[in-house]
Amino acid sequence: MPAPRNLFKEHLFAGKTQIGLWISLGHPSVAELATGCGYDWLVIDGEHGPNGLRDVLAQLRAVGQGAHPVVRTRDDDRAIIKQMLDIGTQTLLIPMIESGDQAREAVRSVLYPPEGARGVGAMLARASGYGSVPDYLTTADDQICLLLQVENRTGLAALDDILSIPRVDGIFIGPADLAADMGHLGNPAAEEVQIAVEDALSRIRAAGKAAGILSADRSLTAGYVEKGIEFVAVGSDVGVLRGALDSLRRSFP
């Protein structure tokens, strides 16, 4: 029996646009609620959200098969990546990639030897169904989807090198950090930023990789979907909840 199929990864390679939502509140009930709303993928945010290993595990269980969970790690630390894979994560989003060398090490972190450096212990963990998937070790690599975040000018300068690396499945452009790095803190819709974003997305897709983006601006996200960007996050649990609560309160002056 092989490792479970990663349908999210298959859809990326098929060029199908998948709509996602950021889950940052760190509670499995929120993840469970969002799962029932029809999103293709959900980001469990370990970079800015209050999510440790057990928090992520609880949310993976809450999501189940209802949507595809994408775990954003806090950084590219190999030990953290190993743990996230062992608890059953199949798609990782790794932030702040700034060079080809950094991207190559990320690839090594998600693959078993001899191609990579992932520690061999998952047969004792959730990833292999606690040992019930006998072919896990020989089939897991093909089902891991590695997404890298490029989100500053240094990363953009290294983008062609990053795109040349096999086993990098997709590149996510982080507009908020990129805007800040370009001198437009809090304004990712700035024209200069959007020109850089559009150029990067085009280069990613031309290189045969999947391109991804997050925006709560519906006009921008509609444009990304229309262009066929492969994975588009259209908001966050925090943003949606805050917006709805604000709107409800304003309706009772």
Domain ranges of the chain: 7-250
Q: Is 11 a catalytic residue?
A: no
Catalytic hit among 11, 48, 68, 184: 48
Cβ contact 44:65 at 8 Å: no
Tokens of 178: 């990129």
List, for residues 108-143, the tens digit of each pLDDT value.
999 999 999 999 998 899 999 999 999 999 999 999
Output the pLDDT for position 185: 97
**pTM for the full predicted model:** 0.96
Q: Tell me the CATH number for domain 7-250.
A: 3.20.20.60
Q: Is 174 left (phi over 0), alpha (psi -120 to 50) or beta?
A: beta
Output the pLDDT for position 123: 86
Secondary structure (H, E, C), 203-243 = HHHHCCCEEEEECCCHHHHHHHHHCCCCEEEEEEHHHHHHH
List, for residues 138-190, the tens digit of each pLDDT value.
999 999 999 999 999 999 999 999 999 999 999 999 999 999 999 999 999 99
Residue with tokens 């609880």: 58
